[in-house]
Amino acid sequence: MFLGGSNLALGALQITPDSQNSDLENQMGRVLYKTPFRLWKPGRSTIASFNATFTLNIYPKTNPIGGEGLAFIITSEPDLPGNSNGQWLGIANETTNLSPLNSIVAVEFDTKKSYMDDIDGNHVGVDVDGINSINQLSLAGTGVNLSGGEDVTVNVRYDGVSKSLAFISTDVKGRKISLFLILIILIAILIAVLILVIIGMGIKLRLLIRRIRNLVTGAPPSIGPRNFRYEEIQAGTDNFRTVLGRGGQGTVYKGHLRGKDVAVKRINMERQGAEETFEAEAVISQLYHRNLVKLIGWCTGERESLLVYEYFPKGSLDRILFPSEGCPAAAQELAKLTWAVRRDIITGVASALEYLHDLCQRNSVLHRDVKASNVMLDDHRRARLGDFGLRRILLSGDTHTSTRTAGTPGFIAPECYINGQASRESDVFAFGVFSMEVVCGRVTYDQHEECPYIVDWLWHHHGSGLITSAVDRRLENVDVEEARRVLVLSLACCHTNHRMRPTIRTVLRVLSGEDPVPVVPLVRPPMERFARKFLSSSPSVL
């Protein structure tokens, strides 16, 4: 199936017009594998494995710089996105890029450094839901030049059991390069098609499909976070000069390490506990998800531990949702938090929690403090759930017992005050409160309201049949039905009885429309006496 400027000529698939007289600027095309296939069957968690081998030949029509690159894509949407030429590689456009609803996974063969995060102008990367690579490998020094006008044979393999993706390339001189990328995701697609895409601005491609067959292959893990020297972090933060924020577990500073802006969290080991800190570091170093704040490295001493995270100039979501007076930058960002953006933020945080609860390797992880102030926004306003100091590994069973109740009042589930047990259900409760914050644009506790706590306030609206009137009045062009769905779902997440709350996986299915909205009583079920006593106390971080 040919789309855009693609065609069959000279015994090969031409993804852009193959003509001396054709204008190749801003051209794009797609060639689709004819028969769609299922990546998995309903009721089964194992994703199908696949193997694709092909030979590509790219050379620039306009020297010295050609176009942007080629992408091997798996998607449920065969149509070529509008305005997806150039650096968008035909994968997405400015509107759809990084949307959780985009449902695209791509292996990109990039011939140009189009973004700051691109490693160079000759690399291979793995993209999820857009053109931002979650992992990439440079071909510099390998002898392979993607836009050199020579045949390059490529083998892409996906192992549905280990969820690993391998890329192997052999150039025209027979040199073999084996590059492995880890892809730990669950692709939200039932019917998928294989797509080969190349974007023009002067690129001409000859692509020969050799064979496609099923194969299972493994892959070694990618390089994770590193251990920094204390002196390096101290110098990079200018002796911990610029404070980004303070919390119950430590202070966060801005720094600059090895060419990148970073956020450094400084944790007091005596207050936090050395064993707890070491445990958190061990867990964090093994986690990766597109909606989690990425850990770059750490440094552990006798009295304090330093965690180095990626830095987000936009800051935390709460500073944008609830801007301080005299902060025009935050007010401008608030105007950009449209309904679609807020919906995607909620979905992104739910996706991160699903990964922590159910999809990360070996152990299930609790976050224990989901709230807007722990959600960062990247340059594309994609949610990144952070602050992992409160996480725990669930080696067995479904709960973690602590002598102190961790979290923030208003976000803490009622049962946690009674038995001191954090669980997946208590994370879901906090997620429900977080969703209310995002949709309603209201702080969790407002002493000026008749119902100061947002959960009680929203349940009152629900009981009055006016739940959609709770939507943030600053929002325009709201999808009312979607808003109602999210608000009722958030109430279900905050059910007093933890057994009645949906799992985070069910939450995602409701958000996507796959499952119906849970039935929620018009009146909030009564709380246990001790839980109500604690919830009525003034809010502060514990």
Catalytic sites, residue numbers = 369
If we measure between CA atoms, which residue out of 358, 351, 420 comes closest to residue 394? 358
Q: Which of 498, 174, 464, 396 is nearest to 487 (CA)?
A: 464
Evaluate whether 67 touches 84 at the Cβ level (below 8 Å). no
Query: How far is the C-alpha of 269 from the C-alpha of 275, rounded, in Å?
Result: 9
Q: Cα(16)–Cα(29) distance, rounded to whole angstroms?
A: 6
CA separation (Å) from 528 to 35, 414, 426, 459, 525?
Answer: 57, 8, 15, 17, 10
Q: Can you name the residues that pair with 445 across neighbouring β-strands?
A: 453
**How far apart, in whole angstroms, are the C-alpha atoms of residue 130 and residue 427?**
28
Q: Which of 536, 518, 520, 517 is nearest to 528 (CA)?
A: 536
CA dihedral 250, 345, 442, 386 (to 10 degrees): -10
Distance, CA of 487 to CA of 484 (rounded, Å): 5
Q: Which residues pair with 153 in a beta bridge?
A: 55, 170
169: which residues sit within 8 A by CB, 6+ positions away?
Answer: 124, 139, 142, 144, 152, 153, 154, 155, 176, 177, 179
- Distance (Å, whole) CA 486 – CA 156: 38
Q: State whether the Cα torsion 330-477-516-291 is positive or negative.
A: negative
* Residue 236 CA: distances (Å) to CA of 258, 284, 303, 379: 9, 22, 20, 23
Count CB neighbours of 525 within 10 A. Answer: 12
